Structures are given as structure tokens and as C-alpha cells.
Structure 1
Amino acid sequence: MDTPLAYIPRIADNMLQEQLAAAGVVLVQGPKWCGKTTTAEQQAKSVLYLDAPKTRQANLLLAETDPEILFQGDTPRLIDEWQLAPKLWDAARFEVSRRRLPGQFIFTGSSVPPDMSQLTHSGTGRFAWLTMRPMSLHESGESNGVVSLEALFKGDVESAIATDMSLHELAYLICRGGWPGSLSLTSKAALRQAINYVEAVANRDISRVDGVSRSPEFTRRLLRSYARHQGQQVPISTLSKDLESNKNGNMTEETIGSYINALRKIFVVEDMPAWNPNLRSKTSIRTSDTRYFVDPSIAAAALGLGPEDLIGDLNTFGLLFETMAIRDLRVYVDALDGQVYHYRDKNGLECDAVVHLRNGSFGLIEIKLGGDSLIETGANTLKQLADKIDTTKMRPPSFLMVLTGVGQYAYRREDGVYVVPIGCLRN
């Protein structure tokens, strides 16, 4: 009999604990295979697997007719795949109001419920939300974590040695992704898992989310197009033109939009909002969202690329590394109660990531594979943007950082810009 794998601690563990102390129901959402249920199980005192084959039919019937029975059990009680029975939302809200205690239920699910009209209560005052993503490099053990993002905000970072990571290793980590189940597999099997993920999305998940039948082949083509435009602010019309070569016919922009919305509902894509700071001069800021997958392995698998392909195409390598870096920054910044934005103005000045905390502090980050010339370019961009910020109306940036793919050391340059390899960053 196989021995169960030991649980690998997640950054979301503390976040879930804090939310359970503050809300009656915590909704843990995120893509399939990212570890939501396993993480929730660590703190749950009882569990209901709504989709368990032996009890699925009875569970769904009770959710409609007598949901209070499903809530019986030690708390926090985990309700897994709750979106299969959306009426549990209102029932849980009523039960929490009746009990008047925090930490009663954990809801986990891989998509938003398909019919929001079935929900009569917003959840305000009773529900809290926690988004999980695939593992960051620090969670999966590939980053030694000697540089803390929190410490960067405090200006308390010293030079440090990074994890010794080659371009080949970095390419593999991009294609493998942060899926917890892949960590115990051979390299070949781990890469295959990412391919299987894309196939599951195309063949089943994108249609299952709302019951609308969608073409698996067109989904694959759309995912490839999305992958080619990672890190860019492109409208649906651009994606449509990219898809026009299909000899079997084209989709309207409205239909493409519906596919993208379905991918968003199952947390496959997670676009980044634009940052709109106070500037000294009136500069038109681009406000379109920036296109990203939730994990770089989805882009690599959609494009049919493996580690060796990335080594042979450093331009694509850089784009997918940026997706990995954004994934990690989102995981780390969530733990600091912040958000990640993208900046670009009409003059072409662009900042890959702006990490903004709830208290108003922010840091500016450029993402580069590595190398002195790329680091210098990134540092100059950061300083140009910092000089444009009107510090009479908002704080100056807490730090400027070039986040690199490879590099032996994390250090602070003479001009104040930090250079930090991704193999030593944590929250």
C-alpha cells in the first residue's frame, strides 16, 4: 500500500487561519490541482466531499431539500466542490447567522457557480474569500527564500546568496508549473501533467463550468493565442485576428469573449489590472488589463513547448518567465494583503509589476531573465517611472527591484535598485 505524501506547507495556511477567525464561511477558490482541498483539510475538523461518487446524488438532493443536514459535523466543516449545489451559499449564510460564530465552514471549488441568480445573499458580513494559485517557487522548495518581499517594503534587505539555478532548470520549472501533484513525479511525468491539464480544460472544464458546449479544438487554439500574447495589453480583436487562419471557420469576438470568460471562471486565466498613479505630468495611461495565465506551464503546454524549446527561443523564454514571476508575486503579495498591477503609458514606458499594499505602500518591479544589459535596462525603466510619480500626492515607491531568472546573488546597486533572483524570493 502506498504511503500518503506528506503535506507541503502553503502560504495560504496562515491566510486561511486568519480568515476563519474573522468570518463564518471562508470560500477557497482557484484552479483545479492547485491544492485547495488539501490545504483546507489541514484545518477542517470534518469534511463533506459533495462530488464523492457514492454519495453525490444524495448530497445534491439534500442540498436542495434539507441542506442543514449537510452542515452537521465538527467545525470548521469543509464542503468540497460546493459550486455543484449553489443553494448551499444561502443556506450556509443562514446557518452562520443562526450560530453567531466565526470559522464554521470552508467552501472549496474550482469555479464560480454557473447561475449566480440562485444566490439571494451577497455573503457580506458572513463570507470571506481566499484565492489559491499553483505553488510559488518558495513553496515548492526551489527558492531558498532569503529575500523577503515584506522586508523590501521595510528597506531591511541585505545582500544574499541565491539558489544556484541554471537556465535549463528554470526552463523546466516554467514547463512543470507549480502543481503540487507534480512534485513527487519524474521530470517527464511532471511535464506530461501540465499537458494533461490543458487537455482537461479543452475537453471538459470549459464546457462544464456553465453547461455551455464549447469546441475543444477552438479552445486549444484560443489558449495558444493567449499564450502568444502573455504579458501584453491586447484586446479581443487582436486575439480574433490571430485566430483568423482557421480554415474551419472563425468565431465572433463575442464568442471569443465568452470563451475567455469561461476560462476566467475556472481560474485558468488571471489578467492583471492597470495601475493608475499620480504623475507630475499629464500622461495618458493605458488602462487595459494585461493577459496572463494563472501558471506558466499552461502557456508552455498550449504552445507545445518543452524546456529545450525555451532554451532555443529566449524571447519566448522571457515571456513565460514573466508569467512565472507574476504568479509568484501574486502568491507573496496576497499574504501581505496587497495586489499586483501593471503600468504602461502612451509613450511606451512600461513597468512589469507594481506591488501595492492596502496601506498605500508600493514597489516597482521589472522582470528580466538575467544578464548585465537586461538588468541595466530594467533599472533605468524603474528610475524613469519613479521620477514621474508626484510624491506630493502619493508616497514614493518603497523599493525598485529587477527580478531576475538567474543570478548568484541578491544585492542593492549603488543607485538604490535591488537585483533579486527569483530563486531567493519569498513573501
Structure 2
Amino acid sequence: MLDYFPRIYDKLLKNQLEATGAVLVQGAKWCGKTTTCEQIAKSTVYMADPESREQNLILADAQPSMLLKGETPRLIDEWQTAPKLWDAVRFEVDKRDQFGQFILTGSSVPPNNASMLHTGTGRISRLRMRPMSLYESKDSSGRVSLRNLFAGEELPVAKAGATIEKLAFLLCRGGWPKAIGQPERMALRQARNYVDAVADSDISRVDDTQRDPQLARRLLRSYARMESSQTPTSQIADDLRGNGTAPNDKTVQSYITALQRIFVIEDMPAWNPNLRSKTAIRTTETRHFVDPSIAAAAMGVGPQGAIKDLRTFGLWFESLCVRDLRIYADALDGEVFHFRDKSGLECDAVLHLRDGRYGLIEIKLGGDKLVDEGAKNLLTLSEKLDTTKMQKPSFLMVLTGTGQLSYTRPDGVMVAPIITLKD
């Protein structure tokens, strides 16, 4: 058995349990939800265990309180297979009137919410878990702390020196816990197996609607080509119509919704700051998988194949950085957004904290020319912000892939390789 790698979500889960009666941990299959929760839980019921599944489902329907008995916090793994457990947990939390009673894990949204009478507000908090960041998988040195940058500290000079080949492997391997520390051939197989499971089974099981596995695979490939873009659903439908049977826009949207419900797709919302000018801000979300390895696996591409198309590789690298930034943002009590205005000015990632602080980040694979371009965009955007109505950015950063060092430019823009970053 592989050693457990400490996760950023370990602390987040503990913090949630200290303040609520139950915590729902949601996220894609294989991202490590159950293993992480097992580190904290004192007792567990596995709803998907073949040996006890039928009995558990009967109890969940007839006497759910029986499944809730055990030392706390009690883990109920894959609770969504028996949606009645939701109200049972909510009621038990009310009755006990104590924090830290239950942990629920789920790799999909329940297919039918009709049996759930209460939202769980005030009793059940939610934690979204993602695959591992490079810092969690020990592929980042963690010398550059976003927390410290938000606190006003200077950017440390940290050595990096990742090659394109190394980045390609990290991208295609992804952050799947079962892939970390494995030989390359075995590590790369995890994302391919994941895509197979999604297309052949999971996309239909999420809401008990039979979907065409081949159309699901074509949609995943199309989404991989649109990664890190603001492509509308209609264009994805057009792309599919050019590659076989012609699904309509409604069908395509239903497949996308199903992928969102099993946490395969996690598009990035637009940032809406106060600007000095009246320039219109685009509100279209940016297309992203929850892990960049899904894009590579959907396209049937390994590390060497990814390198052959550097434009697409650059978009997938952006998705890798977004994955890590989202995980670090969770640790900092923040969110990650994308900015684009009518003039075409963009910012790949805005890490915005709940207390109003934010950092502007451009993502570039590498090279002085691209770093200069990213820095120019950041400075232009920062000058457009109306700082009489909102704070100044805590930092401007170009996040790179192949840079040798982290450093601060004379114009104040920070440059940091992704393999030096942590929360």
C-alpha cells in the first residue's frame, strides 16, 4: 500500500468539523476523498461495499439511524447511493447538538433530490475536494507561499528548472493519488482508466439516464480541445457535428451537466471588478476539467505527444496551474476567477480571498517574450482597476512552467515557476 501523502484538505476538514455537526466532502472519483476522511474518522460505514451494500440500503430506507451509530466523527462513504441518509444525518445532528459528528463523502450529486426534505443549512457544511496539487504530490518545492505574498512578504528567490518533458509528465499523470509515486507507465494509466470509467459508466449512472459512451468520449475530446477557453456550448456542439453523429445543443448540454454532477468538469467563473472605465466585462466561464490529465487522456495523448503541439500543451498547462491555484485558494479561504473585457484584455487567474485581498496571475509556459507579455497584461489591468472602490492587488504574478528561478522584475511583477508554489 502507498504511503498517505498529507493533503491540504486534512486541515480544512478538521476546521469544518470543529464548526458544524456534519461535513459533506464532494469531488471527483479517485481524488482521495475517502482516504483523507479515513485519517480523521473514528468509525466508518461504506455504502458501496458489495458485502453490505444491500443491507445498508435496506437500513437507509427503513431505519437510517442504525447506520449513524458509531464513534464520531463517523464517516458515511458514498452517501448519495441512499439519499434518505441526508435528512437522517441532519436530524441526528439536531438531536445531538454537537459539532464534528459525521463526515459524508460523495463522488456525484444524488440522481434524485425528491427524498431530501431539508437543505442541511446550518447542520451540514460542504467541502469540495480536488486531485492533488504539485505541492501535495511533492513535485513542488513550496518555496513560494501565496499566503506569505498576501501578507506582504517579498518573493523569495527559489530554484526550479523544470523541463518541458517533466511538465508534460506531470500534466498527463495528473493529481490522482493512486498515480503518485508509481512507475511512469502505471502512473499514466490512471487518467486513461478514469476517462474509460466516466464514458462507459459514470456519466449514465449519475442520474440514471442511459448515455452513449462513444458520444461521451467525443465530447470529452472536444472539451479537451477547448480547455482554458471561453468556448460556448453551441461551438462544442458544432465540433461534435463535424466528427460523427450530430447531437443537438440540448443533448450536448445534458452531457456537460452530467459531467459537472460527477465533478469531471469544473468551469471557472468570470471576475467582475470595479474598473475606472466603463469597459464591458465578459461573463462567459472558462472551460476546465478538474484535472488536466483528463484532457490528455481523452485525446489519447501521452507526454511525448503533448509536447508535439505546444499551443495545446500551453492550454493544458494553464489548466494544471488553475487546478493547483484552486486547491491553494481553498486553503486561503478564497476562489479563483478569470478576467476578460471587451477590448480583449485578459487575466488567466484572479485569486480572490473572502477578506477582499486578491492577486492577479498570468500563466505562461515559459520564455522571456511570454513573461514580458504576461507582465504587460497584468500592469495594464492593474491600472484599469478603480482602487477607490476596491483594494489594490496584493501582488501581480506571472506563473511559469520552465523558468529557472522565482524573481521579482524591476516593474514589480513577480515571476514564479509552478513547481515552487504552495498555499
Q: TM-score, normalised by structure 2?
A: 0.99
Cα distance in 2 for partners of 1:181, 1:344 equals 36
Corresponding residue number in structure 2 for 1:326: 322
Alignment-derived partner of residue 269 in structure 2? 273
Structure 1 distance, partners of 2:9, 2:267, is 21
> 1:74-118: CA deviations, max 9, x gaps?
000000000000110000000000000000000001001111222
Cα offset, 1:190, TM superposition: 1.1
Q: Distance in 1 between matches of 2:254 and 2:275?
A: 36
Partners of 2:151 and 2:405 lie apart in 1 by 20
Runs of 4+ deviating beyond 6 Å: none
Aligned residues: 423
Q: Please give the root-mean-square deviation of Cα atoms over the aligned residues, in Å.
A: 0.8
User: What does residue range 25-424 of structure 1 map to in structure 2 within 5 Å?
Assistant: 25-247=22-244, 249-424=245-420
Shift of 1:347: 0.8
Check the 8 A contact 2:25/2:128 in 1, yes or no: yes
Q: Is the 8 A contact 1:153 1:399 kept in 2?
A: yes
Secondary structure in 1 matching 2:220: helix
1:341-380 alpha-carbon deviations (Å, 9 max, x no partner): 0000111101100010000111100000011000000000
In 1, Cα distance between the equivalents of 2:66 and 2:335? 38
CA distance in 2 between counterparts of 1:210 and 1:158 reads 47
Q: Is the 8 A contact 1:142 1:163 kept in 2?
A: no
Q: Output the amino acid matched with 1:180.
A: P
Gap runs ≥5 in structure 2: none
Amino acid at match of 1:169: K
1:184 Cα deviation (Å)?
3.3
Amino acid at match of 2:257: N
* Residue 159 of structure 1, CA deviation: 2.8
| 2:196 partner SS | helix
- Picking from 13, 18, 21, the partner of 1:21 is 18
Partners in 2 of 1:158 and 1:141 — Cα distance?
21
Q: Distance in 2 between matches of 1:212 and 1:203?
A: 12
CA distance in 2, matches of 1:106, 1:192: 30
Quick check: 1:81–1:107 contact (8 Å CA) kept in 2? yes
Cα gap change, 1:142/1:184 in structure 2, threshold over 3 Å: closer, same or farther?
A: closer
State the AA in 2 paired with 1:359: D
C-alpha distance in structure 2 between counterparts of 1:101 and 1:24, whole Å: 6
Residue 297 of structure 2 aligns to which amino acid in structure 1? A
Structure 2: how far apart are the matches of 1:157 and 1:214?
A: 52
Q: Tell me the distance in 2 between the aligned counterparts of 1:158 and 1:180.
A: 30
- The alignment's TM-score, normalised by the length of structure 1, stands at 0.98
C-alpha distance in 2 between matches for 1:131 and 1:403: 24
Once residues 105 and 65 of structure 2 are traced to their aligned partners in structure 1, the CA distance between those partners, rounded to angstroms, is: 18
SS of the aligned residue for 2:242 comes to coil
| 3-state SS of 1:160 partner | coil
C-alpha distance in 2 between matches for 1:375 and 1:348 = 18
Q: Distance in 2 between matches of 1:231 and 1:83?
A: 31
> Structure 1 CA distance, aligned partners of 2:2 and 2:297?
26
Mapped to 1, the partners of 2:14 and 2:160 lie a distance apart of 30
SS across alignment from 2:227: coil
Which amino acid is 2:101 matched to? Q
> Percent of pairs identical after alignment?
60
